[in-house]
Amino acid sequence: MEKRTIGTGLEVSALGLGCMRMSFGDAPIGTRQDMIDVIHKAVDLGVTFFDTAEVYGPWTNEDLVGEALEPFKGKVVIATKFGFDLYEDGRTGWKGMNSRPERIRKVAEESLKRLRVEAIDLFYQHRVDPDVPIEDVAGTVKDLIQEGKVKHFGLSEAGIETIRRAHAVQPVTALQSEFSMWWREPEDDLLPLCEELGIGFVPFSPLGKGFLTGAVTPDTKFDPSDIRSRIPRFQGEALKANLELVEVLKGLAEKMGATPAQLALAWLLAQKPWIVPIPGSRAIARLEENVAAAAIEFTPEQVQEIQTLLDKIDVIGARYPEDMARTTRR
């Protein structure tokens, strides 16, 4: 697979693998060995960029990724995250934000053990903590980099001024935020800022939490453990209206001999050479489908056709429930 260089010289595969749902998020989940097999298959297909976080599980996802990728030390890049206070009894969820320096250091030490590595390749602040100056956060990660425990600093769902302030203390290698054909807000300000500062952009939910694959219909019922059961744009009349986008995507994909998911991922890759989507997958067939998107190339005319069609579609409904929306774009 093609490689891309993001931020301060971090080389990764053009598509990464989001590992969250392998142990966290919604049912059903395969066995641990099933998920290890998926990760190994991703490596076989040329994926070198894997995304996890201590809050996924909590802790179990890092442990899974660490075991699966231990045989490939030095050949892959693992990104993980800090930023939450977790329940010590292992309950799903978190007590609140916590990016105090001592907490960042504690997370780093524990993540190193679970990931079975000597240094964390990319260490993101998972969500901005309003109670801790971002300069303190960036400074702490800078110290960890100087100590050899972390290689690169990242931010997730951060706002423009937060990114600028952090970058002034420790160069930010990557910004992770939602971006897809049905969440295009980053085009307005985040992408221009990343280009200005030389920061890579890592879209999560590049397939709109499965929506852009065409698998969601007006009759789809989500398990209560599935976050989509609480997201406004997946509900009722909003969902029915949003399916117009999927129909457009299906038509374009058919013309190009691709699947809707492949077209959606290829569109992201075509936006900028420093964009690296991280679609999640728990099935090898879906993984193979996604990876094939990296080989799709658009003509300038095709890019313009897609852009024109997308500009005509209004997406209805918020991308997060209200309680989660408060933690984004600070």
Task: Give catalytic residues, as residue numbers.
Answer: 56
Upper half-sphere CA count for residue 313 (Cβ side, 13 Å): 20
For 285, phi then psi, to 5°, come to: -60, -40
Contacts for 291 with CB less than 8 Å, ≥ 6 apart: 1, 15, 42, 45, 46, 47
Task: Give the chain's length.
Answer: 330
Query: Whole-angstrom Cα distance, residue 58 to residue 72?
Result: 24
> Cα–Cα–Cα angle for 18, 19, 24, nearest 5°?
125
